[in-house]
A and B are shown apart, each in its own frame.
Chain A
Amino acid sequence: MFRKTLFPSARYLRTVSSPSAKLLSTTTRNLCCNAEAPQRLPTSQADTLMDIGTRPLFNSDHDLLRQAARRFFTEEVKPHMAQWEVDGQVSREVWRRAGELGFLGMNFPVEIGGNGGDFLDASIFIEEQGYAQSSGPGFLLHSHIVMPYITRYGTPEQISRYLPDMVAGNKISALAMTEPGAGSDLQGIKTRAVRDGDDWILNGSKTYITNGSLCDVVLVAAVTDPDAKSRAHGLSLFLVDAGTKGFNKGKKLQKLGLKAQDTSELFFEDVRLPKEALLGTELNKGFPQLMQELSQERLCVGIICMAWCEAMFEDTRNFIRDRKAFGKSLTKMQVIQHKMAELKTSICVARAFTDQCIDLHTQKRLDQYTAAMQKYWVSDLANKVAYDCLQLHGGSGYMLEYPISRSYVDMRVQTIFAGTNEIMKEIIARSIVA
């Protein structure tokens, strides 16, 4: 089974020499570099679960990138997290820095302003944020949720207007779907966009919006045809710039975790939008547009949770080495040893599945059912791992100065956002019984 996933099928190998090889250049890069796969250990055999140089999915160029990403999070993000948690948001500077170092929009073509890598490169940056257990910056949403909507469905003018600045970290983006009255049931949203000549008038409110306070542009889901045969046929997406008259950002929401994330409410009161604000050219395509990109969104959340599990495990391993009780190190106690064995096993098993999903997605072969499985499984696991690792820390685990306590609360929302795990099970069930 590994052979099929890690060594792409012959179909891809044959297309390498075709005229469209340039388009496939990112895929061929993976094919060439997979030659290193046999020498790369799976995480279960490495010294630590976060070692650079492991996992057959990656090659030594990826290791260089990973080193750079790890350095960025260690030197420029982690040290500021405590202050950002007090502020309720990260600094604009860290966004600009991430942009400057080429970490945003990594897998978009250079021609449209991206950094020219592929999803595998992008997943490295997502993972490193998980390894750093630093939930503050909303890079994932910006690069892997909003940017794909713009590049896939936007007009060339919209792409050139937003993408270069977004990749540079000068424009921070957000996605406004959820409303006070509609979360999982997206079709229940009430935000309305009404035609007024060539313009649109937008009215409504959104809540729980990641990057809500800092955002310079927000992609808003609004009803454009209330009489459509179903709500799914009457939604559209609009690009709204911060500062537009009538668009107000509400207060930052006080959350249990993700405290450095500027999650806010957004209010739209008679916001006049030019016709160019409609994403793309076709009206009422919002729902299918949103659905298309959700697999990636879910996988990205699953990727960061997976890395977080590994980081929590390693933190705990270091803690139990140093901590003594009853005259000996915690590592000498069978109860602790067995707990760690259980944790490592679940984590390594989930890691194998996650890497399979990353590989599938890099080849554009990931379906929504598998993505849903990965998201639900790993976010559930992340909560179990957080709970057990906190317990293993004893009293220290309850203290905010230890990363595990922050991670414990940060993991709690992973089973809820990007689609609740209940919705994930709805989706998966369709692949079983439909």
Chain B
Amino acid sequence: MSMKILVGCKRVIDYAVKIRVRPDKMGVVTEGVKHSMNPFDEIAVEEAIRMKEAKKASEVIAVRCYSTIQQETLRTALAMGADRAIHVEVPAKDCENLGPAQVSKVLAALARREGASLVLLGKQAIDDDSNATAQMTAAHLDWPQATYASKVSSCDGKLTVTREVDGGLETVEVSLPAVVSADLRLNEPRYATLPNIMKAKKKKLDKLSLGDVGVELRQHLAVVAVSDPPTRQAGVTVDSVDSLIEALRHAGRI
């Protein structure tokens, strides 16, 4: 099978970092803060590489859409085993406006440009928790989608995907080309070993501009304010069910 897989890699603040709100309350502090690849994207990269190792795919292309700084996210994907990488460069001033609406357009354009049959993304990024890019990309491409994948198997131009949904596990069959988003239990990403890190240095990393992929960035959302969640208040002990109901009513909860 000569299926090409496109995998999206987002660079996010590392999960272990304590997030601080910026003094101007328009975002969080990112300067000098440890970043790494979105964990769900790592899982997506791993799945793509496993499909290639199982000879279900011929090429894994890792893509990222952001300003030029910090290439280690794509290099991590290459060190894990992706064949090549594409960095769609966005001017630094526009990066704040990059959300699922914009990134999905870029991914769709790249999928068409590269002739990919599968776009594998993480289900959501741990910074904005949008959980929208995969779905929007599928819509732009008019391809079927299978989100929250915890198991993916491929056979004869179709994918059987087990999805983790609120009600339990749902198994769907999608025909290729398709968009799949990876959930936590899909796999355990491999280590970047020294031989693979060294091989990654020779792999191609192409830089494209938004113009190259024919996408114009338009801002749909404006951030009004960012603040810390309210500090947890002390609770109140009530002595009977009636008091509880009264307290809940009083608080406007029921």
Contact = CB atoms under 8 A, between A and B. Distances in A.
B72 A63 contact: yes
A378 to B, nearest CB: 25
* Nearest 9 A/B pairs, CB to CB: A102-B193, A68-B191, A102-B194, A68-B192, A117-B194, A64-B192, A115-B194, A60-B72, A101-B191
Contacts of A359: none
Given A60-B72, A61-B197, A61-B201, 4 more contacts: A61-B198, A101-B193, A115-B194, A115-B195
Interface in B55-74: 71-72
Interface string B32-44: 1010100000000
Interface string A22-53: 00000000000000000000000001000111
A117 B195 CA distance: 8
A116 B79 CA distance: 15
Contact of B72 (A51, A64, A72, A101): A64
A65 B197 contact: yes
A304 to B, nearest CB: 19
B195 A64 contact: no
B116 to A, nearest CB: 25
Contacts of B123: none
B102 interface: no
Contacts of B196: 102
A345 interface: no
Contacts of A71: 191
Interface in B168-198: 191-198
Given A52-B34, A71-B191, A72-B191, A64 B79 contact: yes
Q: Which of B72, B191, B201 has the most CB of A within 10 A?
A: B191
Interface residues of B, number: 18
A108 to B, nearest CB: 11
Interface of B: 32, 34, 36, 71-72, 75-76, 79, 191-198, 200-201
A162 B200 CA distance: 29
Contacts of A103: 194
Interface string A52-82: 1100000011011101100110000000000
Contacts of B36: 67
B195 A116 contact: yes
A117 B34 contact: no
A174 interface: no
Contact of B194 (A53, A63, A67, A121): A121
Interface in A364-422: none
A53 B76 CA distance: 14
A106 interface: yes
Contacts of B32: 47
B193 A117 contact: no
Contacts of A65: 192, 194, 197
Given A65-B192, A68-B192, A71-B191, A116 B198 contact: yes
9 contacts: A51-B34, A60-B75, A61-B75, A61-B197, A67-B36, A67-B192, A68-B192, A68-B193, A110-B195
Contacts of B193: 68, 101-102, 115
Contacts of B191: 68, 71-72, 101
Contacts of A116: 194-195, 198
A339 B196 CA distance: 43
A117 B32 CA distance: 29
Nearest to B199: A116
B170 to A, nearest CB: 30
Contacts of B72: 60, 63-64
Given A51-B34, A101-B193, A102-B193, A64 B198 contact: no
A102 B197 CA distance: 11
Nearest to A52: B34
A172 B197 CA distance: 25
Interface in A71-120: 71-72, 101-103, 106, 110, 115-117
Interface in A311-332: none
Contacts of A102: 193-196
A61 B192 CA distance: 10
Contacts of B198: 61, 116-117
Contacts of B192: 64-65, 67-68
Nearest to A32: B201
Contacts of A121: 194
A65 B197 CA distance: 7
Nearest to A72: B191
A103 B194 CA distance: 8
B204 to A, nearest CB: 16
A106 B193 CA distance: 10
A52 B76 CA distance: 14
B76 A64 contact: yes
A246 B29 CA distance: 66
Contacts of A47: 32
A51 B33 CA distance: 11
B141 to A, nearest CB: 32
A29 to B, nearest CB: 8
A192 B218 CA distance: 82
A68 B71 CA distance: 17
Centre residue among B34, B194, B200 by max chain A CB count within 10 A: B194
Q: Among B76, B193, B196, B200, find the residue whose CB has the most chain A CB atoms closer than 10 A.
A: B193
B227 to A, nearest CB: 24
